[in-house]
Amino acid sequence: MPKSVEARDVKSWLSDGAEIALFDVREAKPYSEGHPFFAVPLHYSRLELDIEKLAPNKAVRMVLFDGGEDLAERAAQRAEAVGFTNVHVMRGGAPAWKAAGFTLFEGVNVPSKAFGEVVEIERHTPRITAAELMAMTARKENMVIVDGRTWAEYRNFNIPGGISCPNAELPLRIDRLAPDPKTKIVVNCAGRTRSIIGAQTLIDFGIANEVVALENGTQGFWLQGLQIEHGADRQAPSPTSDPEALAQKRAKAQAHAKRHGVRTLAPADVLARLDDAARTTYLLDVRTIEEFSQGAISGFGHAPGGQLQQATDQWIGVRHAQIVLSDNDGIRALMVAAWLRQIGHIADIMLDDAVARAAFAAASVAGKRKPGFDAARIRMREMSPQDASALLWSGSGLAVDLRSSTAYREGHIPGSIWSIRPNVADAVRDTSQPVVLIADDPNIARIAQLDLHEAGAVDVALLAGGIRAWVADGQKLNPADRTPTDAERIDFIFHTLGRNEGNLDAARAYIAWEVGLVDQLDAQERSSFRL
């Protein structure tokens, strides 16, 4: 049975040194409109699918948070149903947190964003403006522009002439991008955080080159009326294979990581951590997805290092947990772990080598870490597109589309309605009629079915093959429209809308939000950073 807890107690727990998972179970829109600084998003629409990844230890002290409705209570029941044993519901949700005098932060990935601003202030990370960069380009200065975002983001738009090299790859590959120590290195992202962290990574790594962050990234370009590039395909070269050069890089990374308390663990040490039932331990491989896909240590998940620093709460749901990072070079994981330590996490590394792989395989770590919940085991009847069409034409059934509101707006099955799991029981007013659920991921429909059954629906089916099968069968879709309304789109983050599409007002507002995060921090939140 979940326990109730007051906002002030939760605030105290966040700094008592013990592990705590504070999950905001609302959807993306209400979460981004205001949540506690350390709250990790765990959307109710995906709860059973994500909770064990974010909180691997089912005995962890867990607090669920909502907007003051009954969503957290429902979520607590779901968490307990999959085996969590120490679940609390924060009484009153967001209104109670605010009434207690605590700040509700807008936006997403707030701790990582705020940390980037603190780094710039305290480390005096050098920067240049878009206008200064263009002047350097016009003068044909000896420089290279490095884009520290993901490859997909870079491909969408980038600074003209920029080369893709995600932040975690910089220490490993920068010598191939700028072999001349006199080459100035400019690091950019779409906004501010990864520009700052990427530039400071290279400075901390100790390269001889002058390094600067591009102030406000691509948004700074738009605000100066400058043009960006689309569809570029320039990537950083593969790392050097020279053993001596790699050894020198490893020594730099080790020296830097040691200053921040990062340890290199033996496989036996990590296995001992996993056997400690009282602690949460995350195992994350920070290499590229291509490297990870070719094989990783048993039990390790993938978290590309640059993104792990940028959006820690997408992988780490438990505050004060233990994090073990891995790579196969002894450079990237050390640099990322040093950043995680400074953000306030307990991060160490274990090298991916033959010894580690053998030890973890022998210990059957993958089996130990296998999630206990498997949505595919939830039995659900499937309905063909032909049968679904006949049902809808007869008017005797209801089709509920659980895809994203964006996808629904772009085209949907005639007569279907859009909904999302927190609201799906209310959307089906007549529980005696057959209901067909439409989803890109069948598991989303399977867990939504649990809510419908509890609401009294007795005949719930899944559209076999989803929208693709419907179209492939020759069935029509309604054309794009504006339903659901923006007010109903609780799965959509409006906070960032337009800032990457050249909307100058949106870009200014976003930059002001990032810069302003530092002034919103209270003493507890600011002291969590360990620069």
pTM, two decimal places = 0.96
Instruction: Please say whether the beta carbons of 301 and 371 come within 8 A.
Output: no
Instruction: Please say whether the beta carbons of 74 and 91 come within 8 A.
Output: no
Question: Omega into 160 within 30° of 0, i.e. cis?
Answer: no
The string of DSSP letters for 88-128 reads EEETTHHHHHHHTTPPPBPSSSHHHHHHHHHHHHHH---EE
Taking the chain (531 residues) in runs of 10, the rounded mean pLDDT of each run is 96 98 98 98 98 96 97 98 97 98 97 98 98 97 98 96 98 97 98 97 98 96 93 96 96 98 97 94 97 95 96 97 97 98 98 95 77 87 96 94 97 96 95 96 98 96 97 93 94 86 88 97 97 90
The whole-angstrom separation of Cα 306 and Cα 151 is: 11
Instruction: Please say whether the beta carbons of 499 and 507 come within 8 A.
Output: yes
Report the half-sphere exposure of 343 (CA within 13 A, side-chain side). 31
User: Which two three-digit tokens encode residue 215?
Assistant: 């102030």
The whole-angstrom separation of Cα 452 and Cα 458 is: 8
What is the CB neighbour count within 10 angstroms for residue 329? 18
CATH number of 378-488: 3.40.250.10
CATH architecture of 249-368: 3-Layer(aba) Sandwich (3.40)
Determine the pLDDT at residue 367.
67
Determine the pLDDT at residue 371.
64
The whole-angstrom separation of Cα 324 and Cα 315 is: 12
Sign of the torsion formed by the C-alpha atoms of 119, 121, 125 and 127: positive
How is residue 383 annotated by DSSP? E
What is the CB neighbour count within 10 angstroms for residue 229? 15
The predicted-structure confidence for 185-236, as pLDDT tens digits, reads as follows 999 999 999 999 999 999 999 999 999 999 999 999 999 999 999 999 999 9
Determine the pLDDT at residue 496.
80
CA angle 93, 45, 36 (to 5 degrees): 30
Domain 114-235 -> CATH class: alpha beta
CATH architecture of 3-108: 3-Layer(aba) Sandwich (3.40)
The whole-angstrom separation of Cα 251 and Cα 246 is: 9
In the chain, domain spans: 3-108, 114-235, 249-368, 378-488
CA angle 29, 31, 35 (to 5 degrees): 150
The whole-angstrom separation of Cα 181 and Cα 382 is: 62
Instruction: State the SS3 of 121-188.
Output: HHHCCCEECHHHHHHHHHCCCCEEEEECCCHHHHHHCECCCCEECCHHHHHHHHHHHCCCCCCEEEEE
Q: Is 161 left (phi over 0), alpha (psi -120 to 50) or beta?
A: left
Determine the pLDDT at residue 365.
84
From residue 66, alpha-carbon distances to 43, 96, 275, 521 in Å are: 10, 10, 33, 21
The whole-angstrom separation of Cα 337 and Cα 306 is: 11
Determine the pLDDT at residue 370.
61
Determine the pLDDT at residue 381.
96
